[in-house]
Amino acid sequence: MSDVILTPKFRAGYLRVLDPQFNEKKNRYEWTVEMIFEEDAKTLKPLVDAYKETFAAKHGSAKIPTKSFNFEVPALRKGVPDAFTTGVVREGREGKVIATATSVAPADKDGNIVLKFPPPSVHLLRNGSACTVTPDMHDQIYPGAYYVANVRPYAWVSENGTKGVSFGLDSICKVADGVPLIAQVDRKGAFESYASAEGIKDSGVFNSDEPFSTLSDNDL
């Protein structure tokens, strides 16, 4: 099975669809969306069925490797503690089911993108119609908003022989605004923590009676 399927509505976590991210290890460019779904068997059935059908078509009677995963098929997973944090579920993912869709393009020997196929198209709904996102609309495409996407399941075999299925990103459409999923950082507090740890009470520059613009190069 390689037909494009329309996903249920999801909230976007990691989102890189307007311009690709260069993956130096794989020497390719990637457009990626992390799709955060409500955990509902009926809603997710099209994705689960697409995984199973694609797996069977490519890998025959091979068993789907679910032992190290926590959902019916490995391409979808439940929100779990993030290995790169202090053991907590990342914001917006607790009790949800997560999947990733990616589109890729190779790079040439100079690192330039080689487009063999068009990149994923990005749209948003306006008055019931899907319009293509233009540069002046980029700020309306952000993590935390709600989207649907056209994805294409494809089968693969890894170098170590593991068999699986992933979802390729064909197109994506924003359908509703949401609370942005952006890490909130106490910037001032972070600097103050550094100063406390280093025993720094004052940089000295701002205690100068002279305006900053009159300091010479030797003072900097």
Strands (E), 24-120: 28-38, 76-78, 96-106
- State how far Cα 176 lies from the chain centre: 18
Looking at per-residue pLDDT, the higher value among 72 and 161 belongs to 161
Rg, C-alpha atoms of the chain = 23
Assign domain 5-176 one CATH number from 3.40.50.1820, 1.10.287.3610, 2.40.50.140, 3.40.50.10490: 2.40.50.140
Query: Look-up: residue for tokens 């311009």?
Result: 19
Q: Note the pLDDT of residue 122.
A: 96
Average pLDDT, whole number, for the chain?
A: 80
Q: Note the pLDDT of residue 62.
A: 72
Q: Note the pLDDT of residue 75.
A: 82
Looking at per-residue pLDDT, the higher value among 110 and 89 belongs to 110
Q: Which of 57-61, 89-93, 130-134, 146-150 has the highest mean pLDDT?
A: 146-150
Q: What is the pLDDT of residues 78-92, one digit of tens each?
A: 765 454 444 444 677
pLDDT above 70: percentage of residues in the chain: 75
User: What is the model's pTM?
Assistant: 0.75
Q: What is the pLDDT of residues 48-82, one digit of tens each?
A: 999 999 999 988 877 776 644 567 777 888 765 45
Query: Residue 142 corresponds to which amino acid?
Result: Y
Return d(Cα 151, Cα 2) in angstroms, integer. 9
What's the mean pLDDT in 205-210?
A: 44
Give, as one character, the DSSP assignment of residue 87: S
Give, as one character, the DSSP assignment of residue 215: -
Query: Look-up: residue for tokens 């609309």?
Result: 137
